[in-house]
Amino acid sequence: MSSTLRPALTLFAGLTLIVGVIYPYAMTGIGKLAFNDQAEGSLVVRDGKTVGSSLIGQAFSSPGYFWGRPSATGPMPNNALASSGSNFGPTNPAQTDAVKGRIDALKAADPGNTAKIPVDLVTASASGLDPDISLAAAYYQAGRIARERKLELKQVNTLIEQFGKQPVFGVLGEARVNVLELNLALDKKG
């Protein structure tokens, strides 16, 4: 028995050391060297205070702020510990009701806006944590924000253009803007 127990324990200890200690520290070190911002959580700091992460959406509900994609995480929105989609298909009555409710909320917040509502403002993403919205979703909200903040529409549109990001390599994904960064820029404007 000891002839098989000793090699098994040695193998167990060796693998524990390699997989449980050496590998995690090596990957963390490589991550910090190659992708330091992402490895540290892509935290956004303003005036010495951490205000969020550029990788995880935040719930903004004030009419003077850009609103991000709806979050399907529960019990609170944008909860990274509960990241998941709603898993509702387009014909599911719960999905239809949720989308109708979001459309009604957008129309109530900006009754004069007759533009087509971008789909990312009424549907949750697969993760429920998207930090970005499409440029169309940002422009859709620009009029409401300009009125609420007593800014010219051109000023708000300029911020959207300034913080907008183009598709990766010009073809992957769509043009988008980070909601947290955009709202922080709005706060600086006053």
Q: pLDDT tens for residues 36-80?
A: 888 888 888 888 898 888 888 888 989 999 999 988 777 778 777
Using the structure block, give the residue that is written with the tokens 């440029």: 135
Q: At residue 89, does pLDDT exceed 90?
A: no
CA gap 84, 169 in Å, rounded: 27
Confidence of residue 110 (pLDDT cuts 50, 70, 90): very high
Query: Do residues 120 and 59 lie in contact, with contact meaning Cβ atoms separated by under 8 Å?
Result: no
- State how far the alpha carbon of 134 is from the alpha carbons of 50, 125, 130, in Å: 25, 12, 11
Two tokens, residue 125:
């993403």
Q: At residue 100, does pLDDT exceed 90?
A: yes
Q: At residue 189, does pLDDT exceed 70?
A: yes
Using the structure block, give the residue that is written with the tokens 């620009």: 142
Confidence of residue 1 (pLDDT cuts 50, 70, 90): low
How far separated are the first and last CA of the chain, in Å rounded? 76
Residue 190: what pLDDT? 67
Cβ within 8 Å of residue 17, ≥6 positions away:
none
